[in-house]
């Protein structure tokens, strides 16, 4: 077995003597191509190694000149490692997958580097494999930072969506109560059965359930008991008077401020429906200013 020194000054092999004779016949090697026998530490031109003498003579031109220029490369260009290409692609895709594909890209990049180094020049793409490994590692390093930046925004969006749904529920309940009163001599429903009484007026599928409320509760809203059985005309300031509001849960719940959830469900604020039909998200500091009496 022999090692061959190419024109690019890279070592190739070990290869067999028959392979070298084939390269000589193809014009890829000549007498000046340097080789190192397996049992020797010295590099010698092929012309000085007796076992290639016949092959060199057969390859010589009629004038005795070598059929290829001195130092021509003994091997074809190495094949680019497919793992190296895949590693770089997956590493770059990490920006779209929050680093998920980068983990695979990092593993494939390391495997590609190991295989390229062991291939003795038969595999190429070392730079691509190194780039894939670095890019993948970078995305994996920054993935927690990206997640830390993204998760609060997602949580805020979810909170906003829940608040909108809760306000829509209270809007439907407020309108249902007002419609009930209009159909019953302008008298508000009873506090002990208001949920049952306004059911025919509710078009939404689940207007009594808040997305942020405790699971398993049939209703997450309460009726202002101060208005129960009172007439619409008794309410002096409808836009300021509480009609329905959030509570921890219970069907036909009626009362006052004491029924509000201890922990506000909507970013530190409560959803309140007023006697004129409008709904607001109210901060705790403003609760004292709301009207509960007609």
The CATH number for 54's domain is 3.30.1490.40
User: Do residues 267 and 157 touch, judged by C-beta distance below 8 A?
Assistant: no
User: Taking 80 as the threshold, does the pLDDT of residue 151 lie above it?
Assistant: no
The 10 Å Cβ neighbour count of residue 275 is: 26
How confident is the model at residue 197, as a pLDDT?
95
**Domain encompassing residue 225:** 156-289
How confident is the model at residue 68, as a pLDDT?
45
Position with higher pLDDT, 24 vs 154: 24
User: Do residues 147 and 98 touch, judged by C-beta distance below 8 A?
Assistant: yes
Q: What is the pLDDT of residues 10-39, one digit of tens each?
A: 888 788 888 888 888 887 888 888 888 888
Is 69 inside any structural domain?
no
Where does a domain end: 99, 115, 150?
150
Q: Report residue 149 as tokens.
A: 């930046």
Is 194 inside any structural domain?
yes
How confident is the model at residue 5, as a pLDDT?
81
168 and 263 in a single domain? The answer is yes
119 and 8 in a single domain? The answer is no
Number of domains within the chain: 3
Q: From 76, 63, 78, select the one nearest 29 (Cα to Cα).
A: 76
Highest-confidence segment of 49-58, 110-119, 137-146, 192-201: 192-201
Is 18 inside any structural domain?
yes
Buried b / exposed e along 123-143 (16+ C-beta atoms within 10 A): bbbbebbbbbbebbbebbebb
Is 36 inside any structural domain?
yes
136 and 88 in a single domain? The answer is yes
255 and 215 in a single domain? The answer is yes
| pLDDT interval class at 61 (50, 70, 90) | low
The 10 Å Cβ neighbour count of residue 198 is: 24
Is 118 inside any structural domain?
yes
Is 212 inside any structural domain?
yes
Is 249 inside any structural domain?
yes
132 and 164 in a single domain? The answer is no
168 and 277 in a single domain? The answer is yes
Is 183 inside any structural domain?
yes
Where does a domain end: 120, 150, 180?
150
**Sheet (strand 254-255) strand order:** 254-255, 221-224, 242-246, 270-274, 279-282
Where does a domain end: 31, 59, 87?
59
Q: What is the pLDDT of residues 227-276, one digit of tens each?
A: 999 999 999 999 999 999 999 989 999 999 999 998 888 888 999 999 99
Question: What's the start-to-end Cα distance of the chain, in Å?
Answer: 104
170 and 247 in a single domain? The answer is yes
Q: What is the pLDDT of residues 99-109, one digit of tens each?
A: 788 889 889 98
């Amino acid at each position: 077995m022999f090692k061959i020194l190419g024109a690019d000054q890279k070592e190739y092999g070990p290869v067999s003597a028959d392979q070298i004779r084939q390269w000589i016949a193809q014009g890829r090697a000549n007498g000046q191509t340097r080789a190192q026998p397996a049992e020797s530490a010295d590099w010698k031109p092929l012309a000085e190694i007796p076992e290639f003498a016949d092959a060199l003579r057969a390859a010589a031109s009629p004038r005795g000149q070598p059929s290829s220029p001195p130092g021509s490369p003994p091997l074809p260009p190495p094949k680019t490692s497919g793992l190296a290409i895949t590693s770089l692609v997956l590493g770059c895709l990490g920006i779209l997958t929050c680093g998920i594909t980068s983990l695979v890209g990092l593993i494939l990049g390391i495997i590609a580097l190991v295989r390229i180094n062991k291939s003795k020049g038969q595999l190429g793409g070392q730079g691509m494999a190194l780039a894939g490994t670095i890019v993948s590692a970078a995305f994996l390093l920054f993935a927690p930072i990206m997640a830390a930046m993204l998760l609060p925004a997602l949580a805020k969006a979810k909170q906003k969506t829940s608040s909108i749904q809760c306000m829509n529920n209270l809007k439907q309940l407020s309108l249902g109560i007002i419609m009930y009163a209009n159909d019953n001599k302008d008298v508000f429903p009873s506090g002990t059965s208001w949920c049952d009484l306004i059911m025919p007026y509710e078009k939404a599928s689940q207007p009594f359930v808040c997305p942020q409320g405790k699971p398993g509760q049939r209703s997450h809203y309460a009726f202002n008991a101060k208005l129960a059985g009172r007439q619409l005309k008794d309410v002096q300031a409808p836009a300021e008077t509480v009609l329905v509001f959030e509570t921890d849960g219970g069907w036909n719940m009626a009362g006052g401020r004491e029924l509000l959830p201890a922990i506000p469900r909507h970013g530190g604020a409560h959803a309140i429906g007023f006697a004129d039909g409008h709904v607001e998200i109210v901060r705790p500091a403003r609760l004292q200013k709301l009207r509960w009496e007609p």
